[in-house]
Structure 1
Amino acid sequence: MSTPTPRLTGSEIGYLWTGYMIDDMSQCVLGVFEQQAGDPDVLRSIALALNLARFNNQERTALLTGEGFPLPRGFAESDCAASLPPLFGERFFLYYLLLGARLGLHFYAESLSVSIRQDVRSFCAERLSAASRLYGEILDTMLSKGLYIRPPIIPVPEAPEQIQKPSFLQGWFGDTRPLHSVEIANVYKGMELAGLIHSICTAFAQTMERKELQSLCTRGAQTAVEHLERLGGLLERDDLPLPPSLLNEVTGSQTPLFSERLMLCHISGLFGSLITHYGQALGSAMKHDVVAAFLALIAGAGNYTEDVTEALIRNEWLEKTPGALDREALLEEHPK
């Protein structure tokens, strides 16, 4: 007698459901970019990412519906309009793809680490490998075009060193040290993502039709600038270079490319990714000022994301992630 297939765990469902929403949105956004790109190399990169998103969701659909779970409503063709004037330049397309693939690497690694069922583990491992290939191909394209600015270079030490003074942990004043290599990596990576968010919020604010939502996008851009200034100050103090701005890749178009729902959902997701990065970066930060910076930025991004979430709820645009039973609600609904 064959052993019955175990049910999906809550962790597996959570990552499958969330991944479906991410790739469903990606298909809308990348479909627009594909219509507007002209460079053959950029078009090839977009097509690779778009085909990957489509295949991913075909696999997720089989896994979720096989368990009887309804698929998310997601996004539709009405959420985008590819024939309208471009909102971004082609350099932006490549940076968007690169950072999206980088976020995909983290997402699939986390998905794999909480997956138990063999078919789900295989799916996550294969998607992680595919995301790695996509990241490499996009990065190679950008490097060949001279479009990607490498993170800071540090000197090679002559020999291993031991930490000898408690001041290694300090960072307020007095006897402080330069950033160590992992801190540099996390600060620089945070700036790259904040820079992408800055340009996206600026572009969406230009095209948002309702004033209250336009103001919300403008706040997102301002929040991203605050992050860039705080993180940039940490790098500049050690005479380290900053990542390039993408703001000049935003055109002057004021015609909406995407629905208000898609734009707010996208902004919410990007800020969520930024918070996740800062949380992970905290674990390797060993200077007081670096720790303080990440904590403050998490708080600021969290406050802003809460306001975006409230706007999504008010407009009935936010889909509920599958979760545990609300026992109290069941008791209240039980007939007396």
Structure 2
Amino acid sequence: MDKPILTASEIGMLWTQYIQNSMTNQILKYFKLTVEDNDIKFLVEKSLTLIENVKSNIQSVFRSELLPIPYAFSDADINLHAPKLFTDDLILLFIETMGKAGTTAYSLAQATSTRSDIRGLFSTVLVEYSTLLNKTIEVSLEKGLYVRPPSITKPDEVEFIEGKAYFSSGLNPFHKRSLNAVEILHLFENLKTNSIGKVICTGFAQTTDNKEIKNYFLKGKETSEKHAQLFHKLLTESNVPAPVPSDVGVTDSTTRVFSDKLMLFLKSVLSATGQGNYSTASTASMRYDLIGHYQKLSIEVALYAKDGFDILLKNNWLEEPPQSVDRNQLIKKGTQS
């Protein structure tokens, strides 16, 4: 029995994951050569195997469906002879972030796919990413490197919201309602991801010789730092401990590791993830001041991401996703002939 043709959703997910896996594959190959801790190296190797298998499986789908395989990224985008740029702690945090992103992405991919073989592919990868994330957190806990979310006092009983002041109290600088657990969750996670983003931008700015791109990453570093400081402030205002990753950083190497194309693309992925995180946090927050902050920061990230896309476009580094047929153009073309 012939398989149904792939839906636009399936093609879009397969294409997106192939591009991102191709990029991550190059990054992990470099990490494998520079990581020093054996336990973290095991996680890097496990991640690399997972990425390579997913990439190979998607290639097989593309070939069987007669779809063009994206150029994506190759060994030309990495200098495997470069000295160590990021610390082992950052590498561990990168894999943790990769695990979180993977479980989110492949959960959506599975939910939006129709064909059984494509659902099966995404389901398998989702389980593998979940396993990787769990193992990464276990290693981080064992080494005392895992940054735990803040704790709060457990409530004694169920309480109900009384009046609109619960939502608007954050607008009063002299009497702000303390943060609830859901708000703390999002503030902490966004603080953590911006702390990582700051480090990555620092390393990229340190190793590119393109002035425009260097300035772009320096701006990203400043933006991440500003956002992290705001989240830290909002947590401490409610007397909530706001831990940040320690001893996570960049070495003093200035040798280029990654191509400008790869670095810009990774930053575009991180920016898109950041916008998604802020959108989720905005809808989950119940204090108007938090909602306002997230909406404002989302605009800042969107404008910053646009600058990055402009550079990618100018250098012809952006591949076009598979497109639907432009019927109007076909009709116009047919009329002319």
TM range (shorter): over 0.9
| Counterpart position of 1:123 | 121
- Seen in structure 2, the aligned counterparts of structure 1 residues 331 and 209 have a Cα distance that, compared at 3 Å, is farther
Structure 2 residue runs without a partner (length 5+) = none
- Measured after TM superposition, the shift of residue 126 of structure 1 is 1.1
2:204 corresponds to 1:204: yes
| Counterpart position of 2:269 | 269
Distance 2:165 2:60 in 1: 55
After superposition, give the CA deviation of every residue in 1:125-161 in whole Å (9 maximum; x if it has no partner). 1111111100000110010000012000011110111
| Counterpart position of 1:225 | 225
- Seen in structure 2, the aligned counterparts of structure 1 residues 86 and 121 have a Cα distance that, compared at 3 Å, is same
The sequence identity of aligned pairs, in percent, is 29
Distance 1:321 1:147 in 2: 39
AA aligned opposite 1:319: E
| Counterpart position of 2:93 | 95
AA aligned opposite 1:200: I
**The one of 157, 177, 181 aligned to 2:155:** 157
Distance 1:167 1:115 in 2: 43
TM value normalised by structure 2: 0.95
- Measured after TM superposition, the shift of residue 242 of structure 1 is 2.2
Aligned-residue RMSD, C-alpha: 1.4
Distance 1:208 1:32 in 2: 16
- Measured after TM superposition, the shift of residue 278 of structure 1 is 1.2
- Seen in structure 2, the aligned counterparts of structure 1 residues 319 and 247 have a Cα distance that, compared at 3 Å, is farther
| Counterpart position of 1:172 | 171
Distance 2:290 2:77 in 1: 40
Superposition map of 1:1-336 within 5 A: 2=1, 4-170=2-168, 171-173=170-172, 175-245=175-245, 249-334=249-334, 335-336=336-337
Distance 1:257 1:205 in 2: 11
Distance 1:260 1:149 in 2: 31
Aligned to 1:302, the other structure's residue is in SS state helix
Distance 1:282 1:16 in 2: 29
- Measured after TM superposition, the shift of residue 331 of structure 1 is 4.3
Distance 2:326 2:237 in 1: 50
Aligned to 1:249, the other structure's residue is in SS state coil
Distance 1:301 1:333 in 2: 40
Distance 1:14 1:201 in 2: 28
TM value normalised by structure 1: 0.96
Q: Is the 8 A contact 2:90 2:248 kept in 1?
A: no
Q: Is the 8 A contact 1:79 1:259 kept in 2?
A: yes
Equivalent residues, number: 334
